[in-house]
Amino acid sequence: MSKLEIAIWVSNLKKCYQNKDVLKDVSFSVPAGTIYALLGSNGAGKTTTIRILTTQMKADSGEMKIEGYNVSKQPQKVHEVIRLTGQFSAVDEVLTGKENLIIMGRLCHLPNPEKRADELLDYFELSVSANQIVSTYSGGMKRKLDIAMSLVGNPKVIFLDEPTTGLDPQSRHSMWKIIKELNRAGVTIFLTTQYLEEAEQLADKIAILDKGVIIAEGTPEELKSYLPQGVIQFLFEDRETLEKAKSLMGDYKTSSIPKEYKLTVVTDGKADTLAQIFSRFYQNKVSIHTFSQLTPNLEDAFLTMIAEREEENQWRSS
Ligand SMILES: Nc1ncnc2c1ncn2[C@@H]1O[C@H](COP(=O)(O)OP(=O)(O)OP(=O)(O)O)[C@@H](O)[C@H]1O
Ligand SMILES: [Mg+2]
C-alpha cells in the first residue's frame, strides 16, 4: 500500500505530563477509508493521543502524519482534512441546532452554510428539532449534533473521542449506525472507546492501549486468536470425581469451581490431545457428566493481555 493510502501514521509518539509517562512510544497506522478503534480504560492515554493528533497539544517526541501532512509542521493543512468530536460536547447549548451548524459552516468558509446545515439536520433526523435550543435536546440528540458539526466541512478523517459513553443502548446503536454510514461514504474514522463490544462492532482494526502502551493490535478476530482455542470445560457428578479428574491432568493448565463440580482445562485444541484427555478419564473410571468447548471472546482477550502485562511488569521490577 502506498504512503498516500495511509490516512493516519504515527511513529514513536511520546508524551509525559509532570514526569508521568502518559504515552510511551506509541506507533500505528490507519489505512484510508477504515475504522480504527483505540480501546482502553480510564487514564490509558486515549484523549491525549487524540489531542496530539488533532494539533491541540504538542507531543514530546515522535512523528505523525495525517493524509500525508506532518502534524507538527503543517497543522493548518491537517485542520483542513480533519474534524474532531470530543469526549465533552462542543455545541453551544443556548443556540439552536441549526444555528450551531451555521456558525460552524461560516468558520469552515462554506459558500452556503445554511444549505449544508439543512442537509446535515436532515441526515441526522434532527430537522424537526432544528430550531429548538440545544439545552432542550436529549443526550443522544446532542451527540448526533456533535457529529453533524464535525461533518460540516466534509472532512476526510474524523476523530471521535468516546462517541457513545453515557448513551442508552438505543442511542448507542443509532450512533453505531451513523458511524458505519459515515465510513461507507469514505471517511476514515479514528475512535476511542472503553467498550469492547463497540470496538468489535465498528472497527476494522483495534489497538488496545494500556497505561500509554499499545499492548496488542489487530482485527477483532486476530485479537481473539491470541487466546488459547482449546479450552474445555467438564462437568462432573460430584466433588470427588472432580478432584480425581483434576489430579489426572498433569501438565495441563486447569482451574476448577469445586462447588459446581466444574473443571476447565486449557489444551492446544488438537484432536489427539482431546482424545488423550478423554482416554485418561475413561481408563481411570472418571465419568463425565457433560463437557463443552469454550469460545474465547474479546473481553477474555483484553483481560488476559492486561493481566499478562501486569505479571511481566511485576516480574521485571522484582
Ligand atoms: N493536563 C494534564 N496534566 C497532567 N496529567 C494529565 C493531564 N491530562 C491527562 N493527564 C493524565 O494522563 C493520563 C491519560 O489521560 P487521558 O485523558 O489521555 O486518558 P483517557 O484514556 O482519555 O481516559 P478516559 O477514559 O478517562 O477519558 C491520565 O493518567 C491523566 O491523569
Ligand atoms: Mg478520554
Range of the domain at 144: 3-219
Distance 248 CA to ligand 1 centre (A): 49
Query: Is the C-beta atom of 223 inside 6 A of ligand 1?
Result: no
Distance 43 CA to ligand 2 centre (A): 7
Q: Report the C-alpha gap between 90 and 304 in whole angstroms.
A: 36
51 and 194 belong to one structural domain: yes
Query: Does some domain include residue 310?
Result: no
126 and 265 belong to one structural domain: no
Number of domains in the chain: 2
Query: Does some domain include residue 267?
Result: yes
147 and 236 belong to one structural domain: no
213 and 272 belong to one structural domain: no
pLDDT for 54 equals 93
pLDDT for 63 equals 96
Q: Where are the beta strands (DSSP E) in the chain?
A: 6-17, 20-31, 35-39, 61-66, 69-70, 82-85, 157-161, 188-193, 205-210, 213-218, 230-236, 253-257, 262-267, 288-294
Query: Is the C-beta atom of 166 inside 6 A of ligand 1?
Result: no
Query: Does some domain include residue 92?
Result: yes
Query: Does some domain include residue 305?
Result: no
Digit-coded pLDDT (tens) for 78-99: 988 998 776 666 788 999 999 9
Question: C-alpha grid cell for residue 71?
Answer: 502534524
Domain-ending residue, one of 156, 186, 219: 219
pLDDT for 64 equals 97
115 and 260 belong to one structural domain: no
18 and 145 belong to one structural domain: yes
Over range 270-290, report the average pLDDT. Answer: 93
Query: Phi, psi at residue 49, to the nearest 5°?
Result: -60, -45
Question: Which ligand 1 atom minimizes the distance to the CA of 49?
Answer: 18
Domain CATH code at residue 247 = 3.30.70.100
Query: Does some domain include residue 299?
Result: no
- Nearest ligand (C-alpha, residue 44): 1
Query: Does some domain include residue 15?
Result: yes
Query: Is the C-beta atom of 318 inside 6 A of ligand 1?
Result: no
Over range 46-72, report the average pLDDT. Answer: 95
Confidence of residue 42 (pLDDT cuts 50, 70, 90): confident
Which residues make Cβ contacts (< 8 Å) with residue 234, sequence separation at least 6?
245, 262, 263, 264, 265, 288, 289, 290, 291
Mean per-residue pLDDT of the chain: 88
165 and 270 belong to one structural domain: no
Query: Is the C-beta atom of 150 inside 6 A of ligand 1?
Result: no
Query: Is the C-beta atom of 314 inside 6 A of ligand 1?
Result: no
Q: Report the C-alpha gap between 54 and 48 in whole angstroms.
A: 10
Write down the pTM of the prediction.
Answer: 0.75
Over range 134-151, report the average pLDDT. Answer: 89
pLDDT for 1 equals 44
208 and 256 belong to one structural domain: no
Query: Phi, psi at residue 165, to the nearest 5°?
Result: -60, 130
- Nearest ligand (C-alpha, residue 209): 1
Domain CATH code at residue 71 = 3.40.50.300
Query: Does some domain include residue 137?
Result: yes
Query: Does some domain include residue 308?
Result: no
93 and 160 belong to one structural domain: yes
Strand partners, 31: 6
Percent pLDDT > 70 in the chain is 91
